[in-house]
């Protein structure tokens, strides 16, 4: 039985929500727990489907993992396994984050090429190149990425693109390597900063997290710690856009608004009133939004994960918008589903042109990834009639209790089985 959402249109969202820890951080922190024998405790964890998926990956590597609400406890043995099998890994992309820690701890790793959202190619060439410069030999073999090394040493590494995943795997390999690693053109996302802070709490020597250049001085051993996961800026941004799309009023807590500086700035350009606080913000949209152009870029640019939400807002805005996708070549595949709801859109390569202001109408639509699914739900909230959004397991991978939170804000969203 597959589950769907029945989304009733004509809703103005109003109220307050609090986001939990970031999906794009907790999974990488769980992987990094492999670096330190003993018990690692992570708090403020989101209760999303990918967390138990990652727990299964870690159990397959010899860890004991306990999931207790928003707390994850990981007991890592002195000797971890090195083979992350296909059945555990195939369900989500973040599983590849075990590659760096396993290469650091065992000098050997075999990780099945991961699955995840259908948003475009995400090759591992930069991950492999970074590990090779630190002394590992890597190859793709029988559907797995394999890394092997006699020893690991520091190196100067420059990424062709500030890849989040490559930055994470190089960091987690470098913390136990002998000598100094300098990583240039590193990713700067808040989740990278969270990982750097976590590693330093464990006894690593990492400097420059959040900048273009990260320096790592290798140490012999790390110790487990308790760590609170950074708030999820993508979920927070989704609620910000939900307020603007429905001409609503939503206060969002549990997030540093500095992590969404450009995102909130775009909402101001669209006509929203935005107030920020030390641990949150409020978005109020009292009139029809104004069209705004977007282009996705690595942090601190506009996040590709919020691009479907931006398209949803443009669909109900007055005027024409151009959205440019610079990160994933297949991220526009969901636009056809939005067009089923009456969105006036045309795709030209990595650009999509939205002519907003049309009345939208309900239709059955299918989620292709986490953020596209959330965008379709929000469009359904302002369409006539009842929109059925299929394949909501994608949404469950990124949004804990999505329909419950929407309903608490005044929506009418039902989860049904078909």
Residue 68 has pLDDT above 60, yes or no: yes
DSSP 152-197: -B--EEE-SS--HHHHHHHHHHHTTSBSEEEEES----HHHHHHHH
Give the pLDDT band of residue 274 (cuts 50, 70, 90).
Answer: very high
Both 247 and 116 in one domain: the answer is no
Region 71-76 average pLDDT = 98
Both 194 and 255 in one domain: the answer is no
Give the pLDDT band of residue 39 (cuts 50, 70, 90).
Answer: very high
Both 57 and 193 in one domain: the answer is yes
Binding site residue list: 23-24, 93, 305, 327
**Bigger pLDDT: 6 or 144?**
6
CATH (domain of 349): 3.65.10.10
* pLDDT tens figures, 104-150: 999 999 998 865 444 444 578 999 999 999 999 999 988 889 999 99
Give the chain's mean pLDDT: 94
Region 188-192 average pLDDT = 98
Q: Which domain holds residue 330?
A: 3-19+232-417
Both 263 and 326 in one domain: the answer is yes
Please give the tally of structural domains in the chain.
2
Both 245 and 208 in one domain: the answer is no
Residue 327 has pLDDT above 90, yes or no: no
Residue 259: HSE in the Cβ half-sphere, 13 Å Cα cutoff: 26
Residue 366 has pLDDT above 80, yes or no: yes
Residue-level pLDDT at 143: 80
Query: Which of 181, 212, 228 is at the close of a domain?
Result: 228
Residue 335 has pLDDT above 80, yes or no: yes
Residue-level pLDDT at 357: 86
Residue-level pLDDT at 115: 56
Give the pLDDT band of residue 311 (cuts 50, 70, 90).
Answer: very high
DSSP 68-132: ETTEEEEEE-SS---EE-HHHHTT-GGGGGGHHHHHHHHSEEEEEPP---SS-----HHHHHHHH
Residue-level pLDDT at 117: 43
| Nearest of 275, 277, 344 to residue 311 by alpha carbon | 344
Give the pLDDT band of residue 88 (cuts 50, 70, 90).
Answer: low
Check: CB of residue 80 under 8 Å from CB of residue 41.
no
Query: Which of 175, 193, 228 is at the close of a domain?
Result: 228
From the CA atom positions of the chain, what is the Rg in Å?
A: 21
Query: Which of 213, 228, 243 is at the close of a domain?
Result: 228
Both 336 and 304 in one domain: the answer is yes
Both 13 and 28 in one domain: the answer is no
Both 164 and 253 in one domain: the answer is no
* pLDDT tens figures, 221-239: 999 999 999 999 999 999 9
Marked catalytic residue, from 50, 70, 117, 396: 117
Residue-level pLDDT at 90: 66
Both 215 and 237 in one domain: the answer is no
**Bigger pLDDT: 50 or 279?**
279
Residue 358 has pLDDT above 50, yes or no: yes
Both 312 and 167 in one domain: the answer is no
* pLDDT tens figures, 339-350: 999 999 999 989
Residue 328 has pLDDT above 80, yes or no: no
Give the ranges where 285-362 is alpha helix by DSSP (H): 307-315, 335-340
Check: CB of residue 399 under 8 Å from CB of residue 377.
no
Question: Judging by beta carbons within 10 Å of its beta carbon (0-12, 13-18, 19+), is residue 340 exposed, middle or buried?
Answer: middle
Residue-level pLDDT at 296: 96
Both 34 and 163 in one domain: the answer is yes
Residue 57 has pLDDT above 70, yes or no: yes
Check: CB of residue 131 under 8 Å from CB of residue 96.
no
Residue-level pLDDT at 118: 45
Check if 117 is active-site.
yes
Binding site residue list for UDP-N-acetyl-alpha-D-glucosamine: 93, 305, 327
Residue 95 has pLDDT above 90, yes or no: no
Region 80-94 average pLDDT = 76
Residue-level pLDDT at 56: 92
Both 156 and 290 in one domain: the answer is no
């Amino acid at each position: 039985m597959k589950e769907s959402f029945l989304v009733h249109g004509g809703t103005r969202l109003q109220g307050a929500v609090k986001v939990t820890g970031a999906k794009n951080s907790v999974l990488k922190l769980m992987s990094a727990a492999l670096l330190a024998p003993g018990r690692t405790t992570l708090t403020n964890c989101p209760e999303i489907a990918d967390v138990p998926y990652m727990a299964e990956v870690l159990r397959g590597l010899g860890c004991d993992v306990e999931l207790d609400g928003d707390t994850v406890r990981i007991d890592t043995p002195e000797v971890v396994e090195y083979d992350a099998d296909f059945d555990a890994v195939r369900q989500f992309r973040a599983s590849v984050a075990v590659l760096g820690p396993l290469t650091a701890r065992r000098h050997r790793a075999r990780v099945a090429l991961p699955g995840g959202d259908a948003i475009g190619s995400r090759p591992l060439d930069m991950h492999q190149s970074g590990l090779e410069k630190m002394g590992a030999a890597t190859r793709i073999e029988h559907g797995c990425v394999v890394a092997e090394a006699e020893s690991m040493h520091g190196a100067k590494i420059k990424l062709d693109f500030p890849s989040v995943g490559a930055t994470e795997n190089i960091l987690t390999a470098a913390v136990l390597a002998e000598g100094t690693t300098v990583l240039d053109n590193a990713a700067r996302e808040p989740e990278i900063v969270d990982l750097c802070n976590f590693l330093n709490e464990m006894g690593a020597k990492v400097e420059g997290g959040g900048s273009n250049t990260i320096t790592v001085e290798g140490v012999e051993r790390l110790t487990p710690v308790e760590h609170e996961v950074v708030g999820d800026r993508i979920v927070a941004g989704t609620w910000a856009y939900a307020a603007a799309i429905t001409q609503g009023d939503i206060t969002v807590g549990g997030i540093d608004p500095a992590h969404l500086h450009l995102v909130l700035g775009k909402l101001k350009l669209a006509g929203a009133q935005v107030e920020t606080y030390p641990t949150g913000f409020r978005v109020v949209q009292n009139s029809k939004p104004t069209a705004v152009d977007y282009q996705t870029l690595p942090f601190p640019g506009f996040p590709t994960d919020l691009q479907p939400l931006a398209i949803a807002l443009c669909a109900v805005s007055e005027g024409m918008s151009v959205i440019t996708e610079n990160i994933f070549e297949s991220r526009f595949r969901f636009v056809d589903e939005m067009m089923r709801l009456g969105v006036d859109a045309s795709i030209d390569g990595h650009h999509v042109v939205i002519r907003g202001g049309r009345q939208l109408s309900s239709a059955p639509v299918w989620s292709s990834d986490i953020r596209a699914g959330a965008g379709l739900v929000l469009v359904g909230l302002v369409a006539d009639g009842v929109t059925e959004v299929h394949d909501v397991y994608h949404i469950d991978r990124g949004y804990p209790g999505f329909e419950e939170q929407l309903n608490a804000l005044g929506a009418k969203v039902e989860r049904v089985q078909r």
